[in-house]
Structure 1
Amino acid sequence: MALAAKPYLQRITAQFGKEVDWDRHPYNVPSVRGLESISFHPDVTFFIGENGAGKSTMLESIALALGFGIDGGSRNISLNTALEAAPLHQSLRLSKSFKTPRDRYFFRAESFHNVATRMDEIFERTSASAQSLHARSHGEAFMAVLLEKFRGKGLYLLDEPEAALSPNRQLAALSAIHQLVRDDSQFIIATHSPILLSYPNAKILLFDGTGITEVAYQDTEHFAITRDFLNHYPRRLQQLLDLD
């Protein structure tokens, strides 16, 4: 029987040195402070939590430990246009599969513009070129990357990919992710989207004030709040907006 290649990234383990300042970000964030290890699902692992809970910080630190630039893109693009310091990756130890993924990509919504600009520079094209990601909306550009750049048998890290996607496009992204999973790909995704979170059998890790906890989809606030609002939106609007 052939050995399974996935998960390409099996686990991260934290090894904090004496130089760590526990009073400074990101080490003062509970999910980082209490980090021991995280095991990943062979197909899809989600990071969820409120803003500031540490999910994006963790994802970008994993990306840096894997050799990506902090702005994202493939490992051939090493950008840090904001000159951000992300020391957490130095404390992470990676456990990987015996098999190396054929394709790798780190998508970071807030710096995707910088990656698109760098791609134009590399291929010597203008932003008006049909091949330029700048010639498309943010949502169209991400879908182009997902559908055209991701080649399968890959390890893909996505930080809030839903940021520029309509609900319909989120459904399309969910379908594309599934096709890539069927082609031996692994995803680690930080998201607020209840649509993306619905991916079957995914591992969902909640980052909050108690640390990191695995939760079921229907136990997430994303699912519960969205369902409650849609089922009772006239009353919820009345309560939220203090309407008569």
Structure 2
Amino acid sequence: MRAMTDRPGVRRIRADPGADPPPADVWPMTVPAVAQLWAEGLELAPGATVLVGENASGKSTLVELLAQALGLNPEGGSAGARLQTARSEPDPLPLVVERSPGAPRWAYLLRDETLHGLYTYLGDGYHQLSHGEGFLSIFADKLRGPGVYLLDEPDAALSFGGQLRLVAGLLHLAEQGAQLVVATHSPLVAALPGARILEVGPWGLRPATWGELELTASWRQFLDRPESFLRHLR
């Protein structure tokens, strides 16, 4: 694979020092990963950053806040998308985006939770496709070349083969100099070669390797001995 650029377009997303701090006891600041983002900022590495964590750990909330900081529609699409259904994302935090000189401004957000509304907004026959094929079609149509791309739980719509196609697409984008932030429950997507992995939980955000993830260990144990998990469900 061709080496990724070592100069990320977006270097860091941090709190605006001139803004009043949001109340620490009000959501989303009660989410440890969000509180850490506000206190320390988040450096975005070249290539891919993968967020892994349990349900309600704050992965999606973090992705939505990053999208708003980049000027994106938090329900999906680009900065110019006029898409709004049932609002669930947090109010924007006063965040500053630090960019490298001349960095591309193109960015796009794909959220599995709001894909149906995005299909309707975009038209172009996406509703004629299966959920997974529609997602992969939007991915191919909208995520091209250098830019910043946020994907929230893209694995939810995809089979094993579809996830392999997704990983191939993510690798291709990284080769082109794109930056990616991917929140996932999939050990396959989390194994994206060259990705920086951040595990999200009560501790906030912490670096991890694929082999260290509880996600990886749980799936490995289940596939080796499914009965050891299933017997506890009865």
Question: 2:107 — aligned with what?
Answer: 104
Instruction: Name which of 31, 38, 44 aligns with 2:42.
Output: 38
Cα distance between partner residues in 2 of 1:82 and 1:6 = 37
Q: What RMSD, in angstroms, separates the aligned Cα atoms of the two structures?
A: 1.9
Deviations 1:20-66 (A, max 9, x none): 22222111112222331211120000112122221111111111111
Q: Which has the larger radius of gyration?
A: 1
Question: 1:163 — aligned with what?
Answer: 156
Q: Secondary structure at the match of 2:169?
A: helix
Cα distance between partner residues in 1 of 2:118 and 2:74 = 10
The percent of aligned pairs where both chains have the same amino acid is 36
Question: 1:93 — aligned with what?
Answer: 96
Deviations 1:113-132 (A, max 9, x none): 11221112xxxxxxxxxx31
Deviations 1:117-156 (A, max 9, x none): 1112xxxxxxxxxx31111111111110122332212221
Q: Is the 8 A contact 2:16 2:95 kept in 1?
A: yes
Q: Is the 8 A contact 2:79 2:107 kept in 1?
A: yes
Q: Is the 8 A contact 1:7 1:41 kept in 2?
A: yes
Assess, with a 3 A threshold, how the Cα gap between structure 1 residues 24 and 181 changes in structure 2: closer, same or farther. same
When normalised by structure 1's length, the TM-score is 0.86
How many pairs are equivalent?
227
Q: Residue type matched to 2:58 in 1? A: G
Cα offset for 1:199? 0.9
Stretches of 4+ aligned residues off by more than 6 angstroms:
none
When normalised by structure 2's length, the TM-score is 0.89
Cα offset for 1:181? 1.3
Q: Secondary structure at the match of 1:169?
A: helix
Question: 2:87 — aligned with what?
Answer: 83
Paired residues for 1:1-244 under 5 Å: 4=5, 6-15=7-16, 17-18=19-20, 20-35=22-37, 36-84=40-88, 86-87=90-91, 89-101=92-104, 103-120=106-123, 131-238=124-231, 240-242=232-234
